[in-house]
Structure 1
């Protein structure tokens, strides 16, 4: 797999970095978080239309659905730069998780109808798959779709719905009585019986919790065939995990850069503390962890493109566990090297650690993914 960027990919990366540098300063991000996260507010301040106008929402979507026909590499480049700037817009939840799941699950007719407004930013979809007992994994699912006149009635709860605070519609994973396996269904956010509650996360971003109490959907609201939604959901989660890992790699890069600048500026005994060998060793450890994480991200991208399903799922778990732990280590060390100022809300470096802590929980925690890796190895060796 060639990881050298072509000219179009380099332009894409540069455009996202310019946006972060020019329009998304740390001070602007802080003001956005302090202002709250009501749906009306986030629609006007999340820069979503800017994302659409620059083609970032459509970059990795198929041309048949109004996308630009790019690849996962494009998604990762965008997420990497957003991670460097700690951007809180719901790119991961709406433009990756939901959009890629839709692209994998929908029929050609559904793609032609549903994907163009997602690509141009006029409609936001969010993926509602996680439940309390699943801990970020696609199964088990307790949300059920009971047969009713003309369709189904949904009952159950979903949690940690990324981008769900102001989404127009949700892709919901359910079990149905007439088909084994998971079924994906499209639910309008204004549906009667659907309750949406804002869920603040530790890093200043927001998710949503959804409750379904007899929410009615039609048969044509089902995405693809009943009982065949798991593969599409795993496809979306693989892309989402790659994007989240890229975001963490970008955050680690920025945390190391901030720390290096601080060590060169801060003086003790009349000299910059960057000259202290013990601190140089700690910076070297951080850089080594970053490079291991970057290599793991590259391995994940290669696996998603080339490997069979079972191997791909194993690599997804490997990457999520390794990169999540590396990000917490690197960003935690960055705070340590700053001393007391690193703990303040007004200083950026501590917010990279907060994001790493939240990201380690999203899409399945490190412990769960390590357990999945162990189970895979045990099965392989038997």
Structure 2
């Protein structure tokens, strides 16, 4: 089976998802936050019934043990159907990270609940001013006896408003170590600001002031903790690329259909040779993006010694290319539709918003091209040096700004 095609099971998964989602209307913004949360909870339960939430989870915890290729096959259909529920942010990003780093007791408690949809997780990793860089960690964890207290700010917590728990990255007070914590959502010391992103997806900003109730999942050197975060974010980024490919394909189909039915000067716009060339260019770019995404997903079945480095490099290259194609697709969709392509009422407008956000979500092309360069030039040494420079700079800033006694 080629890395660029789906196998029989993946075809069935994609077909069933496409059939189900075709019966749902293109999502519009809900009137109120309460409407949004109510509708999202109902659709999340439907995802659980379909087995989608169990796909990334191990069979040992009630999951289906799906591969990254399986997840991407589903994510492509979610993008085609403009699903706004945080499947990638919760099930793929946060859920699989918890499975990577949590103690056995926490996994036994949380993973079956994630698989059946009775609980949801979100990752709180990005901080103000850091943009896509998860290595900027200023949130502080202070141990108080057997308990931990968290202080800091997190932004772009995807799916955070409906989550039951949060995975929070922080640095340990009085130590150079970093850590990952499981924090119950809505507990003492937390202040939430709910957000709706440009395309209707939900996110939140989180401020923690002596937030309590956190469980320590993993502690270690900054490079080790950030390495786990990077692996998790690469999986989510790849699934996001699949979602974007699905949205691009649907936006292209709507544009081609419009040009075939809209007439000017007595003939369809699509009969114009220049327009045909532009459509062909879009089609080829989308197919290239799909092939690159599926090839990268196939690398996750590799067991070679350098598989993580290869996955990192290919995910970064895939996201950089997909971001560039997504920008071209939404620009051409608007240009070829005219003003109607920008309206809320016309379906292609929703895809334009999805693709405009996708260009920057999980890192833009420039961010990931830099990662490709680092991965090609002794990535481990460069990345370790960057982390140590940030830790040293932060420590120096803290010591010089501390008041004298």
TM over 0.5: same fold?
yes
Residue pair 2:168, 2:182 contacting (<8 A) in 1 also: yes
**Which residue of structure 2 aligns with residue 16 of structure 1?**
17
Q: Distance in 1 between matches of 2:131 and 2:263?
A: 45
CA drift at 1:327? 0.9
- Which of 26, 34, 42 is the equivalent residue of 2:37? 42
Dislocated runs of 4+, deviation >6 Å: none
- Residues 246-272 of structure 1 show CA distances to partners (whole Å, capped at 9, x for unaligned) of 011001111111111111101112111
Find out whether 1:105 has 2:104 as its counterpart.
Answer: no
Closer, same or farther: CA 177–304 of 1 in aligned 2, 3 Å: farther
Aligned length: 373
**Which residue of structure 2 aligns with residue 336 of structure 1?**
335
SS where residue 162 of structure 1 aligns?
A: coil
Closer, same or farther: CA 137–305 of 1 in aligned 2, 3 Å: farther
Residue pair 2:142, 2:173 contacting (<8 A) in 1 also: yes
Residue pair 2:159, 2:202 contacting (<8 A) in 1 also: yes
Residue pair 1:259, 1:337 contacting (<8 A) in 2 also: yes
Q: Distance in 2 between matches of 1:302 and 1:180?
A: 37
Which shows bigger deviation, 12-21 or 276-285? 12-21
Q: Distance in 1 between matches of 2:372 and 2:30?
A: 39
Gaps of 5+ in 1: none
Closer, same or farther: CA 313–68 of 1 in aligned 2, 3 Å: same
CA drift at 1:181? 4.5
Residue pair 1:37, 1:206 contacting (<8 A) in 2 also: no
**Which residue of structure 2 aligns with residue 321 of structure 1?**
320
Which shows bigger deviation, 131-140 or 72-81? 131-140
**Which residue of structure 2 aligns with residue 222 of structure 1?**
216
Find out whether 1:173 has 2:175 as its counterpart.
Answer: no
CA drift at 1:147? 1.8
Find out whether 1:374 has 2:373 as its counterpart.
Answer: yes
- The residue correspondences of 1:20-169 to structure 2 (distance < 5 A) are 20-22=21-23, 24-26=24-26, 29-30=27-28, 33-38=29-34, 41-46=36-41, 47-169=43-165
- The residue correspondences of 1:266-345 to structure 2 (distance < 5 A) are 266-306=262-302, 307-345=306-344
CA drift at 1:353? 2.0
Q: Distance in 2 between matches of 1:363 and 1:110?
A: 27
SS where residue 287 of structure 1 aligns?
A: helix
CA drift at 1:371? 2.1
Closer, same or farther: CA 173–353 of 1 in aligned 2, 3 Å: same
Residue pair 1:104, 1:235 contacting (<8 A) in 2 also: no
SS where residue 168 of structure 2 aligns?
A: strand
Residue pair 2:56, 2:91 contacting (<8 A) in 1 also: no
SS where residue 165 of structure 1 aligns?
A: helix
Q: Distance in 2 between matches of 1:376 and 1:116?
A: 35
Q: Distance in 2 between matches of 1:296 and 1:166?
A: 33
Q: Distance in 1 between matches of 2:177 and 2:247?
A: 37
Closer, same or farther: CA 361–127 of 1 in aligned 2, 3 Å: same
Closer, same or farther: CA 258–244 of 1 in aligned 2, 3 Å: same
Alignment root-mean-square deviation, CA: 2.0
**Which residue of structure 2 aligns with residue 249 of structure 1?**
245
Closer, same or farther: CA 237–141 of 1 in aligned 2, 3 Å: same
Which shows bigger deviation, 327-336 or 224-233? 224-233
Q: Distance in 1 between matches of 2:375 and 2:142?
A: 34
Which shows bigger deviation, 303-312 or 248-257? 303-312
Closer, same or farther: CA 191–76 of 1 in aligned 2, 3 Å: same
SS where residue 362 of structure 1 aligns?
A: coil
CA drift at 1:167? 0.7
Which shows bigger deviation, 159-168 or 227-236? 227-236
Residue pair 1:159, 1:209 contacting (<8 A) in 2 also: yes
SS where residue 67 of structure 1 aligns?
A: coil
Q: Distance in 1 between matches of 2:195 and 2:372?
A: 30
TM-score with structure 1 setting the length: 0.92
TM-score with structure 2 setting the length: 0.87
Gaps of 5+ in 2: 383-405
Closer, same or farther: CA 151–60 of 1 in aligned 2, 3 Å: same
